[in-house]
Each structure stands twice: as structure tokens, then as C-alpha cells.
Amino acid sequence: MLIWDRGVDRILFVVVHIMTEAFLKDKFNRSIRDLRISVTDRCNFRCFYCIPDEDIVWKRKQELLTYEEIILIAEVAVSLGVEKLRLTGGEPLIRRDIEFLVEQLARIPGVRDLAMTTNADGLKNRAAPLKAAGLNRLTISCDSLKPETFKQITRRDGLRSVLDGIEAALAAGFPPPKINCVVIRGMNDTEVADFADFARSTGVSMRFIEYMPLDNGHMWDRSLLVSGREVLERIRERHELTPIERDAPSETALRYVFADGSPGEIGIIAPVTMAFCGACSRLRLTADGNLRTCLFSMIDHNIRDRMRRGDTREEIARFMIDTVLKKEEGHRINEPGFVQPPRTMSFIGG
Ligand code: SAM
């Protein structure tokens, strides 16, 4: 049970923070502006690079943060300078009444951007309510445009539903969604130029992501990785691309538009071969209430139990500030002795 009075306590808290200028900054002088909130560890897909197919031990309901707890953490983070919130998982659409959470988060003064990363399965009937609730943007994962390959990667027969979801997002008036595609050699790497055509015909922004060593089966192998550079070369065999500026230095993607003026965009996210840790502005909150300072961090910082034992907002803020000071300079994927974190992407929150 939360014991805060969300009126007076909240106002006092904001005043103290403005006066003390307490913001989230790490010891490498990076400001934290982006909080990724995993709302569930569950997912209805079983992407082989992300989540096991069986023997999964899900978190129990009482282990997960309640919406009230998530809202409180978001409010504290925003009071400390966070401007962007992204809901993720697991699969955020399968958490009950996610529209309610969206509505509450959208109301927090200071939130400039509220986004969701989803597999879009079932989005067809949810896009309009999510838009009405105040969601600003959608990122949708889709690794293949071929039903069989899609099924091979996700272990689910879901391509039609995902494509319907993308269409619904566009129809609901969202800005053209970003489409995340993890490129894996021997599986979908021959499709990158087809995805570029998909961007041209629908106006979406493709985001080709390098496969990272975060998979459950520890099957990651450099030979399966298709570098961002190679993805670009393959697209350029079909279409001329023009680089464009990043919106912000912390943006993860190198961005390109089509030189012939066609709609759509191409983004390359290359965390392995072109790491962007130096400009990282992200902090993650797991569904079971742990702050994580890096995807590849070996440490969880439990904020849930502090709230449940009755810490004040001030104490929660102090904990967040101290946690951010422990943020790693960067991941060490390319260094000898790199150790893969025990939690996979689906449990951390992508
Ligand atoms: N269920 C939602 C979805 O499918 O978008 C949100 C969670 S998912 C973990 C978020 C993103 O992480 C997806 O785009 C997924 O492709 C990406 N991802 C998961 N494991 C990855 C890995 N090992 N390497 C690169 N990207 C990964």
C-alpha cells in the first residue's frame, strides 16, 4: 500500500527539487531524459532472440509494480528531468487496462513524449483508444514480411495481425510508427530491401537493429549478427539514401530518407558495431520494480521494496539519483571477458 498523500507531499517535493536543482545526471555528465517502463514480463510472442519458448517462470502478480507505483516512479523521474516515457515489456498490450496507465502518465506535467514499443498483435482494436488516452507514438516490432519466416522467429503465426496493427496505428492518426526489425543472418537478412520498399509504400520508419547478446538460450554468435553497415549496403543496392540529422544526440538511430523523395525513413541501430553509449540518456524500470542503468548491467536496483516499506518521494528521488550515479560508462560486448546479463530483453524491458 502506498502511504503518500499525493497532494501536499507532491507540491513540497517539486519545490524542494527546483530549489536544490537535483536532476538525474551520471558521473560521465550524461543527463537522463528517457525512462523505459516495462509493464509486464509476459509476452504472447516467443521471439527466439528474446524469450524462451517454454519453462518460463513468470513474475507473480504481487511482484509486479501496480499502476499506482509506476505512476509514482514516473512522477519522481519527471521531477528529476526525465521528459520521455516509453512503455514496453514483455508485451505492454497484454497488461490489463494499459489505456488507463497511458492516460495517467500523459497527465504528468513535464512529460513531453509518451511512447510504446509493442508487437502490435491485437493493436487493430486498441490503436484508437490508446491515441485517445494520450499516447504520442508507437514503435512496432516486425522481423519479417513473410509469414513463414515471421513464424520461425516469433514462434507464433502472427504476421497478419501485426500488419493490421500497423495499418490501425496509421489510421488512428499516430505519426508513422517506427518498425523495429532485428536482422539475423540466415533468417531475415535477405529482406532488408523489401522492408525498405515497405517503408516507401506505407510511410513508416524502418529501424534495423543489430542482434544483441541478450537472448535466453545464449545462442548469440557474432556470425549471426548483420552489421548496420551491411544493412545499409543491401538497401543501397535498390534505393539511393540520403542521411538526415538526428533529432537529438541521444537518438540511437542513424537516419536516412530516400533520395527520390519517397515517403518513409530508414534507421540503423547498431549497438554492437557502432555503440552509442556515450550519448545514452536512458534509465530502465523492470516490471518487478528494479531500476536498470544499462541493458547489459549485471545489477538491479530495487525501488519497489523501498516504496512498499513507505519511503517518501524525497527518499525515492534520492535513490534514483544515487542509482543513476552508478550508470556504467558503456556496454562491454566487444571486450574480452564480456559476460551476458542473466535477464533477457523481455525481462528487462526493451
Ligand atoms: N513486446 C514488445 C515488442 O515486441 O516490441 C516490446 C518488448 S521487446 C523486448 C522490445 C524490442 O527489443 C523489440 O523490438 C525486440 O525486437 C528487441 N529485442 C529483443 N531482444 C533483442 C536482441 N537480443 N537483440 C536486439 N533487439 C532485441
Is residue 208 scored above 90 in pLDDT? yes
Is residue 6 scored above 60 in pLDDT? no
Write the CB contacts of 263 (distance below 8 Å, at least 6 apart in sequence).
176, 199, 200, 202, 203
Separation between Cα atoms, residue 25 and residue 299, nearest integer Å: 19
First-residue to last-residue Cα distance in the chain: 28
Q: What is the mean pLDDT of residues 162-178?
A: 98
Is residue 53 scored above 90 in pLDDT? no
H helix runs in the chain, sequence order? 8-20, 67-79, 98-106, 127-133, 147-154, 159-171, 192-202, 228-236, 304-308, 313-324, 345-348
Is residue 243 scored above 90 in pLDDT? yes
Output the pLDDT for position 337. Answer: 82
- Contact (Cβ atoms closer than 8 angstroms) between residue 210 and residue 272: yes
Separation between Cα atoms, residue 234 and residue 190, nearest integer Å: 8
Output the pLDDT for position 248. Answer: 84
Residue 130: name the closest of 182, 184, 178, 92 by CA. Answer: 92
Output the pLDDT for position 162. Answer: 98
Ligand 1 pocket: which of 180, 184, 207, 348 to mutate (most atoms <8 Å of CB)? Answer: 180
Percent above pLDDT 90 for the chain: 80
Q: What is the mean pLDDT of residues 188-202?
A: 98
- C-alpha of residue 255 to centroid of ligand 1, in Å: 19
Backbone phi, then psi, for 180, in 5-degree steps? -80, 130
Q: For residue range 82-118, what is the model confidence (pLDDT) as tens digits?
A: 999 999 999 999 999 999 999 999 999 999 999 999 9
- Contact (Cβ atoms closer than 8 angstroms) between residue 211 and residue 224: yes
- C-alpha of residue 148 to centroid of ligand 1, in Å: 19
Q: How many CB atoms lie within 10 A of CB 327?
A: 23
Separation between Cα atoms, residue 233 and residue 241, nearest integer Å: 10
How many Cα atoms occupy the beta-carbon half-sphere of 254 within 13 Å? Answer: 18
Letter for the amino acid at 198? F
Pocket residues: Cβ below 6 A from ligand 1: 43, 49-50, 88-89, 91, 117-119, 141, 180, 182, 209, 211-212, 214-215, 345-346, 350
Output the pLDDT for position 340. Answer: 85
Place of cell 523481455: 346
Distance of CA 58 to the CA centre of its chain: 20
Output the pLDDT for position 16. Answer: 54
Separation between Cα atoms, residue 26 and residue 293, nearest integer Å: 10
Q: Whose CA is nearest to atom 1 of ligand 1?
A: 91
Q: What is the mean pLDDT of residues 37-44?
A: 97
Question: What's the whole-model pTM score?
Answer: 0.93
Is residue 223 scored above 60 in pLDDT? yes
Q: For residue range 130-149, what is the model confidence (pLDDT) as tens digits?
A: 999 999 999 999 999 999 99
Q: Interhelix angle for 67-79 vs 8-20, to 10°?
A: 30
Torsion sign, CA atoms 126, 181, 78, 214: positive
Output the pLDDT for position 342. Answer: 77
Ligand 1 pocket: which of 345, 346, 347, 348 to mutate (most atoms <8 Å of CB)? Answer: 345
- C-alpha of residue 345 to centroid of ligand 1, in Å: 6
Backbone phi, then psi, for 156, in 5-degree steps? -140, 150
